[in-house]
Amino acid sequence: MASQLSSLCLPNSPSLPFNFSLCRARPSLAPPAATPSLSSSSPSPSFQIVGGRNSGWRGTGVAQFGGDEEEADWLDLDADLCHWTKGLRTVQWYPGHIAKTEKELKEQLKLMDVVVEVRDARIPLSTTHPLMDSWLGTRKRILVLNREDMISKADRNAWATYFTKQGIKVIFANGQLGMGTMKLGRLAKTLAADVNVKRRAKGLLPRAQVRAGIVGYPNVGKSSLINRLLKRRMCPAAPRPGVTRELKWVHFGKDLELLDSPGIIPMRISDQVAAIKLAICDDIGEKSYNVADVAAILVQMLTRLPAVGVGVLQNRYKIDVDGHCGDIFVQKVALQLFNGDIHQAAFRILSDFRKGKFGWVALERPPR
């Protein structure tokens, strides 16, 4: 396995078919327990993830969240993510078509009256380009948080409050099922009408068709939203990043023109915590990351989230989560379900998360 982060090594480990001595965690003053055998005749191994606010675990393996303590635990989780990602292979993905179309898109944005920015509702902060605000300037913006069905009502309320306070109009949507698209269409046309009202007030001729650009990271659902808005398949869409490769104008009614654009992503992702979240949510090319590493970090995140915890993982795979070490759990899934194939086990865990098999799970909460 290509794990490179080994801040907690379990000594005196027996010979195992995989490297079971790696567990992502912060160093602790307490000595780690020796690793027992994984044979069927031996008792189940016990591993410990060290670091973060251990007091939040309440000794159950599931963090107890509530009020200010919940916010503190989210901050702790982000801090732990920074630690877990150190030493891993840097995640970078910048296909050639993005470099080409990004330049074209920035030129087209100058002509836009309205911009619809689409983000992944599970990771809204990680799916916005760091230069987006400077590109948009004072243009009217509609923020769409897609995949709203994959987060809880509490998450939606928290993000709605956060963006409303910033004066950003936010719509929650599901591009696959069409939820939120009618509201998006009405709002886009309303803003388009406002554009022409202001043009007339300035003595300018109204635009025959107001232009709206649909922008966002790869695989956040831009093309699916457009197809739902138009009620026909005008733009290629598939559940993987990098499908849309060219700018494409489509007409939405008589007075609005929409621009479908390829996903845009920074040439270099400096925030590796965000990069791991992009990998978990399938918003970045699979070749850019090690699937086993990403699945291991996802497991450790899920054991810390109140909506999931250890119990959901155990019920899903019928495998005990004896500790909170992601590497160990991925390898146990591989041994018991995939004849030792780490890649298949890791891909199954990631696929289950992406399909919502663990329930409504957001990986980010609004900053305070």
Using the predicted structure, report yes or no on whether residue 6 has a pLDDT greater than 90.
Answer: no
User: According to the per-residue pLDDT averaged within each range, which of 11-15, 262-266, 339-343 is highest?
Assistant: 339-343
pLDDT tens-digit readout, 74-100: 778 888 888 888 888 888 776 666 777
Using the predicted structure, report yes or no on whether residue 62 has a pLDDT greater than 60.
Answer: no
d(CA 74, CA 303): 13
List C-alpha distances in Å: 342 to 19, 290, 362. 11, 11, 25
pLDDT higher for 348 or 130? Answer: 348
What's the chain's average pLDDT? 75
- The pTM of this model reads 0.74
pLDDT tens-digit readout, 218-274: 888 888 888 887 776 554 444 444 444 467 777 777 777 888 777 788 878 888 999
Confidence of residue 187 (pLDDT cuts 50, 70, 90): confident
Using the predicted structure, report yes or no on whether residue 343 has a pLDDT greater than 50.
Answer: yes
pLDDT higher for 44 or 338? Answer: 338
> What is the largest distance, in Å, between two alpha-carbon atoms of the chain?
85
Confidence of residue 17 (pLDDT cuts 50, 70, 90): very low
**Under CATH, domain 95-260 is a member of which superfamily?**
P-loop containing nucleotide triphosphate hydrolases (3.40.50.300)
pLDDT higher for 20 or 242? Answer: 242
Both tokens of 267, joined, read 């040439």
Return the HEC string of the chain.
Answer: CCCCCCCEECCCCCCCCCCCCEECCCCCCCCCCCCCCCCCCCCCCCCCCCCCCHHHHCCCCCCCCCHHHHHHHHHHHHHHHHHHHCCCCCCCCCCHHHHHHHHHHHHHHCCCCEEEEEEECCCCCCCCCCCHHHHHCCCEEEEEEECHHHCCHHHHHHHHHHHHHCCCEEEEEECCCCECHHHHHHHHHHHHHHHHHHHHHCCCCCCCCEEEEEEECCCCCHHHHHHHHHCCCCCCCCCCCCCCCCCEEEEECCCEEEEECCCCCCCCCCCHHHHHHHHHCCCCCHHHCCHHHHHHHHHHHHHHCCCCHHHHHHHHHCCCCCCCCHHHHHHHHHHHHCCCCHHHHHHHHHHHHHCCCCCCCCCCCCCC
| Distance spanning both ends of the chain, measured CA to CA | 38
Average pLDDT for residues 19-37, to the nearest whole number?
Answer: 37
Q: Which of 287, 232, 290, 235 is nearest to 263 (CA)?
A: 235
Q: Where are the domains of the chain?
A: 75-90+271-354, 95-260
Using the predicted structure, report yes or no on whether residue 54 has a pLDDT greater than 70.
Answer: no
Which of 234-248, 274-288, 352-366 is predicted least confidently?
A: 234-248
Cβ atoms 259, 248 nearer than 8 A: yes
Using the predicted structure, report yes or no on whether residue 361 has a pLDDT greater than 80.
Answer: yes
Place of tokens 């900053």: 367
Using the predicted structure, report yes or no on whether residue 40 has a pLDDT greater than 80.
Answer: no
